[in-house]
Structure formats: structure tokens, C-alpha cells
Amino acid sequence: MPAYQSPQRDYEFVLNELLDWSKVNGLPGYEHASPETVSAVLSEAGRFCADVLAPLNRNADEEGCHYENGVVRTPKGFVDAYRSFSEGGWVGLSAAEEDGGQGLPYSVLFCLEEMVSGANMSFGNYPGLSRGTYKVIREHGTEDQKKKFLPNLASGIWSGTMCLTEAHCGTDLGMMRTKAVPDSRGAYKITGEKIFISSGEHDLTQNIIHLVLARLPDAPPGIKGISLFIVPKFLVGADGKPGQRNALRCSAIEHKMGIRGSATCVMNFEGAEGYLIGEPNKGMRAMFTMMNMMRIVIGVQGIGLAEASYQVARHYSKERLQSRSGSGVKNPEKPADPIIVHPDVRRMLLTMRAYAEGCRALALWTASYIDISERHADAKVREDAEDMRAFLTPIVKAFSSDAGYEATNWGVAVFGGHGFIREHGMEQFVRDAKITQLYEGTNGIQSLDLAARKLALNDGRLVQAFTRIVGEFLAASRNAEGNPVVAALGKAFDDFATATEYVRGRLDNNTDDVGSAATDYLRMTGLVALGYLWAKSAEVATRAGADNPFYRGKLVLAEFFAAKIMPQTASLLQTIKAGAAPLMAMTADEF
């Protein structure tokens, strides 16, 4: 298997040419993030991922994590790799400089997240969750909590988790039973069991800081009665160092289909000391700070796996000899042609690459709105950016993870029967990719968030912002005669407008119709978003000159996406308009 290589040139294209990096590094506090600095940072990150993380990936999958009497050991090599990763400043890449971080934009962080996921997704879960924990405490914690926890989270000396799920309830967090009882010292005693806790216990850091959702004694029922607590593995002493072990324990780790090097834990809190973060009964508001970030990160994980799978499949398709080209012999000095000459192999490879590069542009486009929403001096600009961030988040999570899973399956298919054999590594990509469609809210939940919530939010303001951006681009570009990408985008955008009108028209009185349309509607929206970005990419490439192989590749991919993938919106419109009747006609007993 060829070694993983970071898509450095494509990062530079998206950030500097497609999205205009000056809109990000011109923000207050990001002036140091020049294109040259960002390029150097990403180049070094790519080297680390290729040289240190990728070689550990196969062994981590084979070995998995080890559990014994509450202690979890990560796979061989992870401890040293994590030490180098944290010492290199990668955990705190986007953390504030006053906390010891590098203070770089999220647009840069998500490039790093993709590289780490492509090289070794299991490893990436450990520092990834720490960044989310850092962000919650930074935005919702007291000054004492920030001082106590943020520097060590930013440095990677400590790590973080999010503890939400319980065995009897998954997404329906209003049913949770974990309790928080005030003690006499202003803290709380946390009691309950949480499952599926990524990085809940491991041997990489000195302390683990858990963010735990729980109920106060007088909490109202349902989702409105949930509070959020900081619960450290080791209590932090007056000197800021870990001290006494808290009353919490990992009672088991899950044996999983994929990401076997990532410890997924059952965590028992047995009167553990915790500290309220944010307001009582407003825990979900604070936790969504982390959840929204992690949803984008998970979409980026799918992109990383799509890219990694594509790189291996591309190499194999140029080396593997089988059959002759239907249009004539291409390799007469050998007994057969390489399989890359065959149209169906090219279909699979181009689909993988179009998804990887298109979804990368989508994720970094979304990241730019996060940066703008947090840093821009103008309140209206921040509000508009937040609207786009909110609208795009479920699409990045669901569409990109679906695309990543599809791409990794195509990677197996390029290898044929050899792809089904473990020694080639392609099936690991599939197994690792599957979880991205499930955790942090399944993609069905993301689809409902888009169709049932985001379309209605602020009287449709979010979808109107997206529609305005794509519509204005089409209005400015449709006069370009003979542009197949713009023409295909125009048709897809018309389908999207019709579908949006259909779904919004049923929000008040036919929730089953909305639910039945949600997954197809999110996919359609993702196709339009990628179509917009591919059309813009084609414009940039045309201006740069198609005689350059990199830009010619962008043009070819844009036209492939327009001709072979984007027309799916037409069939999606038909399934959306079919409504809920075909799904709901069968009684439960008839299944």
C-alpha cells in the first residue's frame, strides 16, 4: 500500500483561490495566519501524519485497545505518537494564544483534522475531543474554570470527552437518568452510567476532563432539565496539578466494527465530584457548542478516509493489469492493460475524487463562516455567517460522511476481490468510515435537523441565505455559453427550490411527509452545495489556465460531477414529493 500523502496543493487551492483567504486572515486576531504561514503549518502537519501516524494505523486496527480492571491501554506506538503530537502544538492549533495555543483559524484546524483522519482516524479521536472540551469551557466556563482547565487542554497534557449517551436513550437525551446532587462545598456529586464515550479512559494524558450531562434534583422533565458538569478523572489541587482520583471508572470498552484504536468506553460515575458549567438546566445549550464543532469534524473524518482510500485505489489502478481497453490496446508491451483504462474503474475513481475534493471545499467553506461568525467586527456580518454555519453543519456532517463511506466502498471495488482481503487495507477504510454516519447524531437525525428545524428557523432565514448565495452566482454565470457545469447547477438548483417549497409547506401539518423527505432533501442540498463549489472551482481553473495539469484536473472533475452526479437531484425530487404514504402504509405487524 502506498504511503498516505496530505493533499497540500488542494488545501492551498481551496483556501487561497476558491475561498479568498484574506477574508479569514484579515479578521482580528488572525493576522498572523498568512498564506505562507498556513502553507508551512499544513506542510509540517502532513509530514507528521504521513511519517508518524499513518504507519501506526494498520497495527492499531489489528491490536485494538486493551482493557483490564478499569485501565485502558492504547495500541502500540500511540503513547509516543501522542507525546510528539502534543509537543508539536497540534492539539492546541486553534486554541487561544493566552492559553498556550497557536490561535490559528478553524479553517486551518479542519485541514489538520482531515489529514489526521486520513492517516489514522483512531488516533485522531483523542485530541479531537479535547479541542471540543476546550471550546465549551472557553465559551461557557467561569474564569476559575478557564484558568484551571484550559492551558492543560490546549497543550494536550490533559484530554477531554463528552459524556451524553445512556444505554436506554441515544439521541433522546431528555430521557437521561444521570443525577447531580449539590454538596456542601459548591460542587456536585454526579451519579450515573454513560456509554459510547470516545476517549473516556486511556494512557495518553495525565488527566481526562469529562463534560457530563446530568439532572439536578429539582430539574424540570425532558430536555429542558439537563445541566452540564466538568468532571475530572483526577481532582485538580490548588497547585493546578492532578491529585486524588475522582469517583468515576471505566467499566468496559466496546469491541467495534472499526476505529479499533480509539477507546469507546462505558463510564460509571459513582458520586464523582463535578462542577456546573453554564446555567442550571441549560446544559444542552453549552454542550451544543461542542456538538456542532464535532459534527463538522466527523464530516471531515469522512473526507479524510475518502482521500486515503482514493490514493491507494489510484495507485493500484495504474499497476494492476487486467483485460484490454475497449477502445484499443493501450499497453502493447504487456499482456494486459492497467485497469485504469476501463470506464467503470474510472467512474469509481472519479466519484471518489469528486467527493473528496468537493466535500473538502464544503467543509472549509463552512469553517470560514465559523471564523467570521466569531471574529468579524460587524455584528450583522457575524450573524449572517452564523446563519450559514448553522445551515451547512448538518450537511457537512451527513453528506460528507455518506460520501466518505461510499468512496471507501468504491475503493474496495477498484481492488475487486483483493479489496475484500484484509492485507490490502481497503476494508479497514470502510469499517472506520461507517461510524461517521452514526455518531454525534446519525445522519437521519442530521437530515431531520435540516428539514424540520433549520428550514423553519428564523422564518426561513437560513435557507434563504444559502439560496441567495447560489442564486447570485448563477445569475452572474448563466450567460457563460456552453458551460455545462453552470447549466447542470441551474437545473439542480431549480429542483432544490421546488423541494424546499414542498418541505416547508408541510412543516406545520404533516411531519411524516417532512420526515420521509429529510434524508433525500439533505442529499439534494449537499449536491447543490458541491455543485456550486465545483462550478466556482471550474471558473478559477479556467482563469488560471487549463494547460496546467492541476487546473485541468479541476475542470475535468467539475464536468464529471455536473454530468454524472449532480443530475441525481431530479430523482431525489421525485422521491421527496412521493411523501410519507409509501413508508407508512404497512402496519408494524406486517413488517
Residue 478 pLDDT level (bands cut at 50, 70, 90): confident
Q: What is the value of pTM for the model shown?
A: 0.97
Q: What percent of the chain clears pLDDT 70, i.e. is strictly above it? A: 99
Residue 172 pLDDT level (bands cut at 50, 70, 90): confident
Domain 158-281 fold = Butyryl-CoA Dehydrogenase, subunit A; domain 2 (2.40.110)
482 CB burial (10 A radius; 0-12, 13-18, 19+) = exposed
* C-beta of residue 561 within 8 angstroms of C-beta of residue 536: no
pLDDT tens readout for residues 5-59: 999 999 999 999 999 999 999 999 999 999 999 999 999 999 999 999 999 999 9
Could you tell me which of 116, 119, 211, 220 has the C-alpha nearest to residue 159? 211
Parse the chain into domains and list their residue ranges: 8-64+74-149, 158-281, 443-584
* C-beta of residue 211 within 8 angstroms of C-beta of residue 160: yes
Cα-based angle 522, 437, 432 (whole degrees, multiple of 5): 145
Please state whether beta strands 242-245 and 234-236 pair in parallel, antiparallel, or not at all (unpaired).
antiparallel
Q: Which three cell numbers stand for residue 202?
A: 486511556
* C-beta of residue 269 within 8 angstroms of C-beta of residue 192: yes
Residue 163 pLDDT level (bands cut at 50, 70, 90): very high
* C-beta of residue 433 within 8 angstroms of C-beta of residue 258: yes
pLDDT tens readout for residues 49-104: 999 999 999 999 999 999 999 999 999 999 999 999 999 999 999 999 999 999 99
Q: Report the SS3 class of residue 375.
A: helix
Q: Do domains 8-64+74-149 and 158-281 have the same CATH topology?
A: no
Average pLDDT over residues 313-331: 95
**pLDDT for 282:** 95
DSSP line for 570-589:
HHHHHHHHT-SHHHHSS-GG
Residue 2 pLDDT level (bands cut at 50, 70, 90): confident
pLDDT tens readout for residues 245-299: 999 999 999 999 999 999 999 999 999 999 999 999 999 999 999 999 999 999 9
**pLDDT for 481:** 64
- Give 89's DSSP letter: T
Which residues lie across from 213 on neighbouring strands?
228
Max CA pair span of the chain: 84
**pLDDT for 290:** 94
**pLDDT for 545:** 87
- Count other Cβ atoms within 10 Å, centred on residue 245: 12
Q: Please give the Cα distance from 419 to 432 (Å, whole number).
A: 15
Positions marked active-site? 440
User: Among all chains, which residue has been given the C-alpha cell 479531537?
Assistant: 128
Residue 510 pLDDT level (bands cut at 50, 70, 90): confident
**pLDDT for 1:** 75
Cα-based angle 352, 121, 440 (whole degrees, multiple of 5): 90
Q: Report the SS3 class of residue 210.
A: strand
pLDDT tens readout for residues 225-247: 999 999 999 999 999 999 999 99
pLDDT tens readout for residues 375-415: 999 999 999 999 999 999 999 999 999 999 999 999 999 99
Q: Please give the Cα distance from 234 to 246 (Å, whole number).
A: 5
Distances 285 to 187, 279, 282, 294, 513 between C-alpha atoms, Å:
20, 9, 6, 15, 29
pLDDT tens readout for residues 103-120: 999 999 999 999 999 999
Q: Please give the Cα distance from 230 to 337 (Å, whole number).
A: 60
Architecture of the 8-64+74-149 domain = Orthogonal Bundle (1.10)
Whether the predicted pLDDT of 507 surpasses 70: yes
Q: Please give the Cα distance from 403 to 401 (Å, whole number).
A: 5
